Amino acid sequence: MIVTKRYTFREKFSWSLYDWANSVFATTVLAGFFPLFFKSYWAGDLDDATSTALLGTASSVAGLIIVLIAPLLGAMADLSRKKKLFLSIFALLGIISTSFLFFISYGFWQWSLIIFGLSIIGFSGANIFYDSLLIDVSSNEDRNYVSSMGYALGYLGGGILFLINVSMYLYPSFFNLNSQTEGILFSFLSVAVWWFVFSIPLFLFVKQQKFEKITDFKNPFKESFLRVFNTFKEIKKYKPVLIFLIAYWFYIDAIDTIVRMAVAYGTDLGFDSSKLIIALIFTQFIGFPATFAYGYLAEKFGLFNMLVVGILIYIFICIYSLFITSATDFFILAGLVGLVQGGVQSVSRTIFSRLIPQEKATEFFGFYNLIGKSAVVVGPALVGWMAYIFNNPKAGIISLLILFIPGILILFYVPRASLVRD
C-alpha cells in the first residue's frame, strides 16, 4: 500500500510566504526605484543615453551570470539535501546587497551597478532553490494550489510594500524623512528588512523531504553537469517542446526588458519621476484581474491564439512608444502592459505543460524555468546601447522588435496538434 505524505498548512504557507518576502525586491528595486534613482542620483553627472546604456549592460551581465550558473545550481538542488543552505546563501547575498544600496553616495554609479548586479544574482539564485522546494511541501494533488498561493502572496506583499515605499518617496515628511532622496534610500533598506524577516518561516518550518543521492561524492559538480546535459538531450527528442522554448526565450526576454527598463525610458523622455512610479502601481493593479480574464479568454479562443495576440500587443507597445509625448501616453503604455503581461506568462506556462510528456514534467519544467531565468540577457543591453548609439531612447525601445518578431514567427512552427488539449 502506498501512503501519500500529508503536508501541513504551516509547511505550505511558510513556503509561500517566501514569495511575499522577496517579491518586494522585484517591485520596489528592480522595476521601480533603482532605474529611477540610478539615473537621477548615482549617475546624475552622466547624460541620459550613457546612464541608460550602463543600466542595461549591468542587467544583462547579471542575467548572463545566472544563465551560466543556473543549470548547475538547479541540478545540485535536485541531487542534494542542501536546498535550504543554498537558498539561504543566495537570499543573504540579495538581502545584504540590497541593504548596501542605502549607503552608496551621490555619483558613485560604479558601486551602485556592482551592488545592483549582486542583488539580482542573489534574488534569482535563491529563487532556483525556492522553486525546487515546492515538491517538498506539496503533493501532486495540491501542487498547483500551493504554487498559486505563492504567486498570490507575492503580488500582495510586493504591492503593499511598494505602496508604502512610494508614499515614503512622495511624502517624506510624513515618515519623518528630510527629502525624497532619503525616502528612496530608506525604501531600499526596508526591502532588505522585509525580505529577511518574512523569509524566516521557510527556514523554520519547511523540511526538505526529497532528493537524489549524488553517486559521485568526489565530484558533485560533474554529476550536476551530466544531469543538465542529459535533460537537454531528452528535450531535443520532442521537437514541439524545443521549438516553443526557442520562441519563448525571444519574447520573454523582450517582455522582461520592458519591465526593467520602462522607468529609465520615461526618465529619458523627461517625464516626472513621481508619475512614472504611479504608472508602475497602475500596471500592478490592472495586471492582477487582467491575468484571470486573459486565462478565461485563452480557454475560450485558444491558448496559441491568445499568446499571439499578447505578443502582437507588445509589438504595438514598442511602435506606440515612438509617438508618446506626455505622461498620459506613458500611462496608456503602462495600462497595455498590465493587460497582457501576466496573461502572456501564464498562457506560456500552460502551453508548455500541455506540450511536454507528463511523466517528465518535473525534469522539463526545470529547463523551462531555466529559460525564463536566462531571459533579460540580450534585451537590456540592446535597449541601452541602441539608445546610446542613436542618442535617442526611442531607438532603444523599438529595437526590442528584434526579439519580439522572431519570437512570434517561431511560435507558428509549433504544431498545435502536439498539445494535449487546446
Reported as a pLDDT band with limits 50, 70 and 90, residue 373 is low
User: How many H-runs (helices) and E-runs (strands) does the chain carry?
Assistant: 17, 0
The whole-number pLDDT of residue 393 equals: 79
Distance of CA 343 to the CA centre of its chain: 14
Q: pLDDT tens-digit profile of 201-251? A: 999 998 877 655 555 555 656 666 676 677 777 777 888 888 999 999 899
Reported as a pLDDT band with limits 50, 70 and 90, residue 407 is very high
Q: Which long-range contacts (CB under 8 A, 24 or more apart) does 210-216 make?
A: 210/135, 210/136, 211/78, 211/79, 211/80, 211/81, 211/83, 212/78, 212/79, 213/79, 214/79, 214/80
* Distance, CA of 103 to CA of 112 (rounded, Å): 10
Q: pLDDT tens-digit profile of 254-271? A: 888 887 777 777 777 777
Specify the higher pLDDT residue, 167 or 214.
167
Q: Which residue from 307, 381, 418 is spatially nearest to 59, judged by alpha carbons?
A: 381
Q: What is residue 391's DSSP assignment? A: T
Q: Which residue from 198, 46, 391 is spatially nearest to 55, judged by alpha carbons?
A: 46
What is the four-CA torsion angle of 405, 410, 413, 415, rounded to 10 degrees?
-100
Contact 166, 28 (CB under 8 A): no
The whole-number pLDDT of residue 117 equals: 92
Distance of CA 26 to the CA centre of its chain: 7
The whole-number pLDDT of residue 115 equals: 95
Mean pLDDT of 8-22: 90
Alpha helices in 302-399 (DSSP H): 303-320, 327-355, 361-373, 379-390, 393-398
What is the four-CA torsion angle of 297, 301, 305, 309, rounded to 10 degrees?
-40
* Distance, CA of 220 to CA of 204 (rounded, Å): 27
The whole-number pLDDT of residue 2 equals: 39
* Distance, CA of 320 to CA of 330 (rounded, Å): 10
* Distance, CA of 320 to CA of 53 (rounded, Å): 22
Give the H or E element holding residue 175. none
Is 353 a residue whose pLDDT tops 50? yes
Reported as a pLDDT band with limits 50, 70 and 90, residue 358 is low
* Distance, CA of 336 to CA of 310 (rounded, Å): 10
Say which range, 14-23, 85-94, 129-138, 298-307, has the weakest mean pLDDT: 129-138
Q: What DSSP assignment string belongs to 214-251?
A: -S-TT-HHHHHHHHHHHHHHHHHT-HHHHHHHHHHHHH
Is 47 a residue whose pLDDT tops 70? yes
The whole-number pLDDT of residue 421 equals: 46
The whole-number pLDDT of residue 92 equals: 97
Mean pLDDT of 289-296: 77
The whole-number pLDDT of residue 68 equals: 76
Q: pLDDT tens-digit profile of 189-204? A: 999 999 999 999 999 9
Is 139 a residue whose pLDDT tops 80? no
Reported as a pLDDT band with limits 50, 70 and 90, residue 415 is confident
Reported as a pLDDT band with limits 50, 70 and 90, residue 287 is confident
Work out the burial of residue 391: count CB atoms within 10 Å of its CB; fewer than 13 is exposed, 13-18 middle, 19 or more buried. Answer: exposed
Q: pLDDT tens-digit profile of 312-325? A: 999 999 998 888 88
The whole-number pLDDT of residue 198 equals: 97
Q: Which residue bears the cell 534610500?
A: 185
* Distance, CA of 261 to CA of 209 (rounded, Å): 40
The whole-number pLDDT of residue 131 equals: 75
Write phi, then psi, for 163 (nearest 5 degrees).
Answer: -60, -40
* Distance, CA of 1 to CA of 240 (rounded, Å): 38
- Domains of the chain by range and CATH? 8-203 (1.20.1250.20), 233-422 (1.20.1250.20)
